[in-house]
């Protein structure tokens, strides 16, 4: 598995950069909030596997995610890409039924943290979308806002802004669907999942 970082996403596109006035942006984002740098060193992860014993999933990984850069994690199936993201996003804790062992340091702006205690910093979209098929994108975003936001009157504005920016207005009131119910497209499902995470304007 390898981690590659590069210039900002905009510099990877050879087409002319659009002026800010030409691009729809998240109007609710507070640009005064400082960006965060996430880094890790000596990161390791192992679990107990029945009949096998201790299994080392990640070993001695070091890397950094800097604001304004596009970062790619590359590797074959089973190399630990998802496990790394789960660790960094705080979705794995020490112990548990698999006796998980986490080694190394995770830091935000140079300050060591236990990622599992700071999940509010991260927006994380899973590879497989966990969306209720009988709900619409609008309902999913409303549900996420009610669960995760504390300000009242602005929620509708945030939701409409996300629906417009993510290109979901045309399907906003169509059921997401599943294996039995015809619904929105795969790309629209993924953008809905992205919107549910962006609703809190996470730092990372």
User: How would you write the pLDDT of the chain (204 residues) with one tens digit per residue?
Assistant: 655 555 444 333 434 444 333 333 455 555 556 668 899 999 999 999 888 888 999 999 999 988 888 888 899 988 899 999 999 988 888 888 888 899 999 999 988 988 888 888 888 888 777 788 888 988 888 888 888 877 655 677 888 888 988 888 899 888 988 888 898 888 888 998 888 888 878 888
Residue 162, burial from CB neighbour count under 10 angstroms (0-12, 13-18, 19+)? buried
Report the alpha-carbon distance of residue 12 to residue 22 in Å, rounded: 19
Q: Tokens 């730092």 correspond to what residue?
A: 203
Inter-axis angle of helices 137-148 and 186-198, nearest 10: 20
């Amino acid at each position: 598995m390898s981690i590659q970082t590069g210039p900002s996403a905009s510099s990877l596109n050879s087409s002319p950069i659009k002026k800010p006035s030409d691009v729809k942006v998240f109007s609710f984002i507070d640009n005064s909030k400082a960006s965060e740098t996430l880094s890790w060193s000596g990161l390791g992860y192992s679990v107990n596997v029945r009949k096998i014993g201790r299994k080392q999933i990640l070993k001695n990984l070091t890397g950094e995610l800097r604001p304004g850069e596009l970062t790619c994690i590359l590797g074959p199936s089973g190399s630990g890409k998802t496990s790394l993201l789960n660790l960094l996003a705080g979705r794995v804790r020490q112990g548990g039924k698999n006796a998980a062992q986490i080694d190394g340091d995770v830091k935000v702006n140079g300050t060591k943290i236990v990622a599992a205690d700071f999940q509010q910093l991260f927006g994380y979209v899973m590879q497989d979308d966990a969306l209720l098929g009988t709900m619409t994108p609008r309902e999913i975003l409303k549900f996420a806002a009610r669960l995760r936001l504390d300000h009242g009157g602005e929620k509708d504005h945030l939701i409409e802004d996300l629906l417009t920016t993510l290109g979901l207005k045309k399907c906003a009131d169509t059921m997401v669907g599943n294996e039995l119910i015809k619904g929105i497209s795969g790309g629209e499902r993924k953008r809905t999942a992205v919107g549910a995470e962006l609703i809190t304007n996470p730092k990372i």
